[in-house]
Amino acid sequence: MSRIGKNPINIVNGVTVDLKDNVVTVKGKLGELSQEIKDVTVHMEDGIITVERPSDSKDHRAKHGLYRALISNMIQGVSTGFTLNLELVGVGYRASNQGQRLELALGFSHNIILEVATEVTVETISEKGKNPIVKLTSYDKQLLGQVAAKIRGFRPPEPYKGKGVKFVGEVLRRKAGKSA
């Protein structure tokens, strides 16, 4: 049995969960999310959600834990939200934003301008003597991860000097340079 899938999900105060035609809709103070559920059954009783699978086939076992995690992330997202911090490591790397428009200077001949989805809030923090930080906040964990991966993909951290866009707290494997 899936260790993640068999755990019950507690519904937090201020969050409403609707289950209709295999679509779970979660509403909270930060927003509303919905997810279509296939191959597993979702039961809701007394503020507790349980996910059950019909058989022990490989596909059902995989989706058991997946849908339980998705529903749990939706409930946490609309109640408290998620935050990801990206750090720009490198000389001359800068970040600035005007609303949902993020402008990155990552050592290319031109600045990268990215229009971020309206569900994701962008904030840039630049302190003297420290690396610039891009702070992303959203109630949708999947969308937040996609936006963060897109920003990181512009200049992934390289293993020799560690320059690039990395998550705050991410540990990079460094390589030794040439030995003369």
Angle 141-154/58-79 helices, nearest 10 degrees? Answer: 90
Q: CA 47 → CA 14, 18, 170, distances in Å?
A: 11, 12, 36
- pLDDT, tens digit, 9 for 90 and up, residues 87-126: 999 999 999 999 999 999 999 999 999 999 999 999 999 9
Q: How confident is the model at residue 3 (pLDDT cuts 50, 70, 90)?
A: confident
Please tell me what DSSP assigns to residue 127: -
Residue 164 clears pLDDT 70, i.e. is over it: yes
Dump pLDDT digits (tens) for 46-70.
Answer: 989 999 999 989 999 889 999 999 9
Q: What are phi and psi of 52, to 5 degrees?
A: -125, 150
Q: Does domain 9-79 have CATH number 3.90.930.12?
A: yes
> Which residues 6+ apart lie within 8 Å of 55 measured at CB?
none
CATH code of the domain made up of 82-167: 3.90.930.12
Please report, for the chain, the start and end positions of each structural domain, with discontinuous segments joined by +.
9-79, 82-167
